[in-house]
Each structure stands twice: as structure tokens, then as C-alpha cells.
Chain A
Amino acid sequence: MLKLGAFGFVRYLFGWLQDLCAAFSPYVCGVALVSILFASVSSVTERDMKRLVAQTSIAHMGLVVMGLFVFSESSFGGAIYLIIGHGVTSAALFYLVGILYDRFHTRDLTVYGGLVNLMPLFCSGLFFFTTANAGFP
């Protein structure tokens, strides 16, 4: 759903109201920056796994909005690339958190630990997608 909003920006808002978007771009970038900062700082202390993934998603989408409203070709390409990549990584992280919740019925991060010996395939996938979500590759 977050990506749909960004697609709406690109497909309709920039097509119909391009001058207005250019006039308001500093304000939109400011709001996006505040949302990035707030979501990323609050994700540091988050204990609920699903909320943690959601807050990192908010931060990523703030970066996407900022890239779109800078109005340069490379930032636009980067924003689209981030939309596509984030579509895969956030879906996968929500899926992995759902697997854990299905087995143990809690989303509290602090009660988990030591799953690498019991669920190695799960932990491999979690490693791949958390590093992808952090922007490692």
C-alpha cells in the first residue's frame, strides 16, 4: 500500500500538477525528512517485531518521497529502484515475522533467541532480508 502511494505521486500528481509539485517540493522534502528521522529513531527501541518492520518501511518510503521531489533524473531512478526493492524486502520481512508469530504466538522481540540451531533455514532468510532492508548490498 505504501508503494501504491508513491506510484500515485509519480503517475498522477507529477503528470497533472507538475508546477505545483515543484513549488511545494522543499516543504514535502522537509516533511519526508522528519518522517525518516522519527521512524528510524523510534525503530531503535521498538520491541514489537511487526511494528519494527513497519517503522523501517515508513523511513524507506520517506526516502522515496524525498527522492521523487528532488526532481532530478538520478534521484528519480533511485526512488523507483527503492520502491521495487522495498516491495520485496518488506513483504519478506512481514512474512518471516508472520512465520514466527504462527509458531510462538508472540511478536515481542526480547523473548526470542537462539533460533539459529533450531531453524537454520529461517535464520538464513532472515539474515538475507534484514541486511537487504538495511541497505547492505
Chain B
Amino acid sequence: MGVARELSLLVFGLLVISSVCLLYANLRLFITVSFGTLNKNLISNAVSDLSMLELFCMSLLILNGFLIMFGNDFYLGWLVHDLLIRFVR
């Protein structure tokens, strides 16, 4: 709400357009890689899934993502209200 109050309607419209573009680009990345026809020249059926190390690293990143989603008090309370908010007038 704080941002929306300060911006004009035109800027808000441009932000909506750009967010739709970003949504399309990200979903295109996922859908193109995951679904569609398999390129037999490039990808063989013997390709391996994630190794244990890769799986561990990705699990760590997903855990961080969930912490950010559900642990707002920790991140925002620690960073914003304690350290950074002093610079806002």
C-alpha cells in the first residue's frame, strides 16, 4: 500500500505489464524445459537425475525459500526493524 499510494496510475499500469511479462517468461522456462517433446538428438534416456550433492544443495535452497515465506518475523524483524529502519525518515 505504501508504494501504491506514491505512484501514479500510469506507473502502476507499467508495473502490472512488466509483472505479467515476468510471469510469462518464468513459466515459459519451466514449461519448455519440463514438458513438450523430448529432443532425442540432445537428450538420451540414460540421463541421470540430480546427484546426492545436487539434491542436498537444492534442498538447502528450498528450505531457505520456505523460511522466507513463513518466517517473515525472523527475517524482517531482524533486518528491517532492528538495523535498517533507522535510515528511513
Q: Give the docked Cα–Cα distance between A11 and B30 (Å).
A: 36
Report yes or no: B3 in contact with A80, Cβ–Cβ below 8 A: no
Given known pairs A92-B61, A99-B54, A120-B49, the reply for A112 and B33 (CB within 8 Å) is yes
A80 touching B79 by the CB < 8 A rule? yes
Question: Min CB distance, B81 to chain A, in Å?
Answer: 8
User: What B residues does A52 contact at CB under 8 A?
Assistant: 25, 29
B75 with A114: CB separation less than 8 A: no
**B21 and A85 contacting across the interface, CB-CB below 8 Å:** no
Interface hits, B4-45 → A, CB 8 Å? 5-7, 11, 14-15, 17-19, 21-30, 32-39, 42-43, 45
In the assembled complex, which residues on chain A have CB atoms less than 8 Å from the CB atom of B27?
130-131, 134
- CB of A109 closer than 8 Å to a CB of B: yes
By the criterion CB–CB under 8 Å, are B29 and A109 in contact? yes
Pairwise interchain contact B29-A49, C-beta atoms closer than 8 A: yes
Query: Count of chain B residues with Cβ under 8 Å from any Cβ of A?
Result: 57
A121 & B50 in contact (Cβ 8 Å cutoff): yes
CB <8 Å contact, A114 and B36? yes
A126 with B18: CB separation less than 8 A: no
A116 lies within 8 A of B34 (CB): yes
Q: List residues of B whose CB falls within 8 A of some A CB.
A: 1-3, 5-7, 11, 14-15, 17-19, 21-30, 32-39, 42-43, 45, 47-50, 54-55, 57-58, 61-62, 64-65, 68-69, 72, 75-76, 79-80, 84-85, 87-89
Write 5 A-B pairs (CB below 8 A) sorted by A numbering: A66-B3, A70-B3, A111-B39, A115-B33, A125-B61
* A residues whose Cβ falls under 8 Å from a Cβ of B: 10-11, 14-15, 18, 22, 29, 33, 36-37, 39-41, 43-44, 46, 49, 52-53, 55-56, 59, 63, 66-67, 70-78, 80-81, 84-85, 88-89, 91-92, 95-96, 99-100, 103-104, 106, 109-123, 125-135, 137
